[in-house]
Amino acid sequence: MGFECVVSGLGIHIGSINSCEDLVEHIIAKKNFYNKKAIVDSTNKAINDAVKDLNGQDIIAITNDKLSTDICKQYNINNQIVAINYVSMIKEMMHILQTKIDSNIVLVARGEDGCVAILVNKTKERYMTSLSIDNDITIIDEYVDNKSGSLNIDDSKNLINNMMKLVQGIVEVRYCLKLDKKWYSQLYLWDTLEKRELDLVLDGIKTTIKESELPNKSMFESGKYIIPVTFSDTQDARITLKKVQDELTKVGLFTTMVNAIKNLQINRKDNIIVFVVEDIDSINDQINELYSISDRLLDKGFIWKSTTGSLYVRKNVDKPQIVFMNPPGGMFKSNIYHKLFSKLYSFVDENTKDIVRETYINSDNEMVDRYLSECVITSVIMYMLDVIGIKPDYLSGASMGEIVFSLLDMKVPNGERDEYTQYIEGSISSIVGNKYNQSMEYFGRDVNLMKYYIKYDANKVREAIKEYDDIFPIIQGSPTDIIIIGEKDSCESLFKKLGCIPMTLSDAMYIHTPVIENMYKKIYDMLVEVGAYVDADKLPYKLFSTYMCKEMDSSSEMFANNFASILIKEVNYMEALEKLYENGARVFIDLSTTQLCTGWAKECFKDKDDVEIVAIYENKNTADYVVDMSTRLLASNVSFDYRKIFSRLMFINDKTGKFEHIELVSDKMDKTNKYEQVEIVSDKVEMADNYTDKEEEIKVESKNQVSKIDDNIVLRNYIKNQMNVNRQAYNVYLERERELYEQVLSTFRNETVNKDNVINTKTVEVNKPKKKCLWDREQIIEMTENSMAAVLGDKYKEVDKYPIRARMPLPPFLFVSRILDIDAEFGELRPSSIEIEFDIEEDCIYRVGDERISNLIASEASHIGIFLMGYIGLDVISNGTLSYRALDSIQIYHSDRLFRVGDTMKMIYKIDKFAQNGSTTIIYFSYEVYNGDELITTSKASGGFFTRAELESNKGIATPKLKLNPVEPKEFLHFTDKGKDSYTEEDIAQFYKGNYEACFGKDIRIALNEKYYLSHDVDMIKRITNIDYNGGKYGRGLICAECDITPDMWPFEVHFKNDPVLPGIVMIDGITQLEMFLFAHAGLLGHYDKCNVSMINDSPISCKFRGQVRKGHSLLRYEIHIKDVIEKEDGIYIYTETGIFNDDVQVIQIGNYGMKITP
């Protein structure tokens, strides 16, 4: 038997120690509290790293509350630990309710299976995972008990409060730092949350601190200032703006902001300009701009925006309304949310469980259970928004999203709730879990039912569906977003006719179709019988029926009609959104985590500038999110409690340099017109980087006292040290919330690069700081070689099932170090883009000399487009039946600068459009390649995803019988006649090694500035079969060569996994190699005292790819025809045309390939 170790905020849980006090002593004394024999070295190191810097100056908190650690688990596979951060949901939802922790704290709790020590804030964020270890290092699988995955409807707040015991405790301990005594013994007793007080031990004296003495508000530090300017008419606007400018000059940004907020509070007028700025210059520039257009400020529909986020909207309705949008079922991150709620339910206290059991819907149907869990999630999100003062005027949902709202507010006067909820659960289960019987009853046969999301003209889809009796539109979100279900073959026929590409969805059921129409009356009658209704008159908002497209009243008949229709009738959410707009709605807030409703609303209202669409889960930090939301709501002039938002924000006082927050007056005091009711409270906030050895004073304000304490020097140094140590882990966490413990474990691979053997298809870890990115090289390799879902999430699990899918090459042919940015969405075939970088290291396989790198990488890095298509979800759409191949390209070079070891190549890749021809998907794309900030090359190209049959049937490029073009024959420019016209494999090998005399003879003269040589592994020329300076298609020169293709060639192992094919760019690089041989043979490389060889700038190079070289034995032939050779003042310019043949089938054609030799 081993024991359980929970890494929690870089802390530990030891199941073998049952005394909190003993565990504290072990941590402080750095005692050997673990069994070395029971754990592997990496875990040993992890625990050591977690506690090595703890000492008697750290803050230790103890709780006697029972705490289960089962809610957060992770996998341990081959000692490589990857966190599954289930509690990210708590962080997302509850962050706005909790206070930021500014200091390092150790929280110790007695758990059900031992004690837990949590070191909070080592990386400035709260998070938890766990690791189970025993003698055999077994894999711990995540288990969810569906029966315990119950769903709270009416009492979700109580449940959430119980869930948050641990986090609340940590928050409260944070305020123990602000006491009037200097501490020497950091032992704090946090005992029984129900008492809402803390017992503090200082110098052996126990002190009790009550909850009322602890600040309880979350504070979010904003780097921007919000200055609302309210006015009634144009003249008033000009006067007020001038006053703001004068005030800025006198008192600065912070005080001007405070006065503007006070003025808004007591003297709000019809119009509001909201300035969001970082400095005085910005706001002055914006005010001057508004002066120049002030005569337009009262024009209805007029909108002004700035690049800093400032906003003014001239309302075109008297009372703009707020709508909360709730998406169809499954649009939350179910794998995180549902499992987490299931786990948390099992560890709340028994009293809460009793309450929950009375109001939960318990289901044996996992999908029903998962969907209904969104009732709890939705109520939590609404509660979170209410905390910052945002209340809806309308609740509007689609499908399950509407059911959630109905259940939250439903009354059941004539029936037992338990009986009713069981019936509801049974009805939903019968709808979603009985496909076979429903198919047999409606169609008389079993239907292979599929569900698809289509990004296409919805009207055209509807018209085309009329030809089929087994396809149904079920949800329409916008004019170009529609979801359908139907028999698979019929759907595929539909897509072929429309020429559209769908995205396959899971959970195909007959909801929203005529197939289950017979369920309507049964549900309707039951609801009427029990008298279920919503008390619309007493609700603080209006429930909006999507099916009926109007507000709900309090009648049981209306509730029954709507509820019975939600899952049975088709959902047209587009019509609901349009009707809500007619009713005065101007702010639409998406409650989901996927931003599905956000996309629908943006498409519906793309021509309406007065609509604000807000997504709860945007990729912003909390402060920026709150600033952005408050700005948009204020500017839209909607009704919300902005006092709550401002009371949660902290701003830098530009006069003092300290963070300060604003305490606004209550509603009761709002009409007193007294400025002094706005209180400014300072709270010095410093990052650990700024800590010094100098002792400073912190002012503390509590209910009973205001006093000062000296900061502990040792603690400050410790914090500074630990923040620096963990900076990299912190940055990674904030960027992607993944690989949280990679830095803790320090499990860097100790692989050694063998410079004599350049080929190494395995990843070689380089121990150097990582650059900021979306996904780094390790993650990119994981997605390419193993699993997309492991990095991108569960919706890519279907992709991982396909052995042949849209995947890039593997190292050493993977020229991507990091992905910096991406503009694409899963399932949306729209113009998309991606930005990458590639660090050129010494072991780059395509070195052509000591430091130079082949131009090949500038083209081959475009394989990032394959990843982009995989990210969009093409494999799901095509069921893994397609392989990617290049088609055509036009490439232009813009610089003579060559890539060298140590450079970083950057590429910006864009998919411009899509086309479909039968089962084939064609993409038209372009890309730009930079070396640093210098543009090297641009390309416009196309590629396709083809079936195996289409690839095998390709006959290559038609090659008519050779005819000389009607141009004047002109002998190829050369300066020696001493060379042979054919060369053996041994000769070519000497050339690639840079042994020119061994290849050409002692009289050869080559004066390259940098010696040209290649690794044997990348050479593409084995024999020169003919050199004729008067031959070729143009009569100006010809060189022919051969390369033997064998199954053991390394490119087949990496390009692509499970779909080996020789890269076209590798074959094209053979052209450069062959032309370098020709230039040496002709004496061109010795014409100048010293020379360089590069591509000709501003000369388009055309490429056609019409065949493939599969893994096996074949003969590759090159025919390079010289088109022209021009000697200019700055060098010799050579233009060629090349055909590449595989067993006499032309697979590639290159036109106007231009290279130059310059002194």
Helix (H) or strand (E) holding 380: helix 366-387
Question: What is the Cα–Cα distance from 1072 to 1116, expressed in whole angstroms?
Answer: 15
List Cβ neighbours of 190 (8 Å cut-off, separation of 6 or more).
Answer: 61, 62, 63, 107, 169, 172, 173, 198, 199
Helix (H) or strand (E) holding 1066: helix 1064-1081
Question: What is the Cα–Cα distance from 8 to 58, expressed in whole angstroms?
Answer: 17
Question: What is the Cα–Cα distance from 865 to 449, expressed in whole angstroms?
Answer: 32
* SS3 state of residue 123: coil
Question: What is the Cα–Cα distance from 588 to 392, expressed in whole angstroms?
Answer: 9
For residue 892, what are the β-bridge partners? 938
Helix (H) or strand (E) holding 379: helix 366-387
Of the candidates 578, 131, 271, the one whose C-alpha atom is nearest the C-alpha of residue 396 is 578
Question: What is the Cα–Cα distance from 986 to 1022, expressed in whole angstroms?
Answer: 8
Helix (H) or strand (E) holding 781: helix 777-781
Question: What is the Cα–Cα distance from 963 to 278, expressed in whole angstroms?
Answer: 70
Instruction: Look up residue 771 and give its DSSP letter.
Output: P
For residue 1116, what are the β-bridge partners? 1043, 1142
Look at the alpha carbons of 758, 762, 765, 771 in this order and tell me if their dihedral is positive or negative.
Answer: positive
Look at the alpha carbons of 837, 840, 846, 847 in this order and tell me if their dihedral is positive or negative.
Answer: positive
Question: What is the Cα–Cα distance from 702 to 723, expressed in whole angstroms?
Answer: 29
User: How many CB atoms within 10 Å of residue 958?
Assistant: 7
User: How many CB atoms within 10 Å of residue 1142?
Assistant: 21
- Largest Cα–Cα distance in the chain? 108
Taking each helix axis as running N to C, give the angle between helix 366-387 and helix 156-163, from 0 to 180 degrees, rounded to the nearest 10: 80
Note whether 263 and 274 are within 8 A (CB): no
Note whether 1127 and 1135 are within 8 A (CB): no
3-state secondary structure 529-584: HHCCEECHHHCCCEEEECCCCEECCCCHHHHHHHHHHHCCCCEEHHHHHHHHHHCC
Residues annotated as catalytic (active site), given as ranges: 1055
Q: Quick check: bond before 328 cis, omega within 30?
A: no
Note whether 1061 and 1028 are within 8 A (CB): no
**In this structure, what token pair is assigned to residue 499?**
């020429």
Of the candidates 995, 1006, 1003, the one whose C-alpha atom is nearest the C-alpha of residue 979 is 1003
Note whether 320 and 637 are within 8 A (CB): yes
List Cβ neighbours of 1091 (8 Å cut-off, separation of 6 or more).
Answer: 1007, 1008, 1009, 1085, 1131, 1157, 1158, 1159
For residue 699, what are the β-bridge partners? 708
914-940 per-residue burial string, b: 16 or more CB within 10 A, e: under 16: bebeeeebebbbbbbbbbeeeebbbbb
Question: What is the Cα–Cα distance from 1093 to 1079, expressed in whole angstroms?
Answer: 10
Supply φ then ψ for residue 497, to 5 degrees: -65, -40
List Cβ neighbours of 458 (8 Å cut-off, separation of 6 or more).
Answer: 473, 476, 478, 479, 480, 481, 482, 574
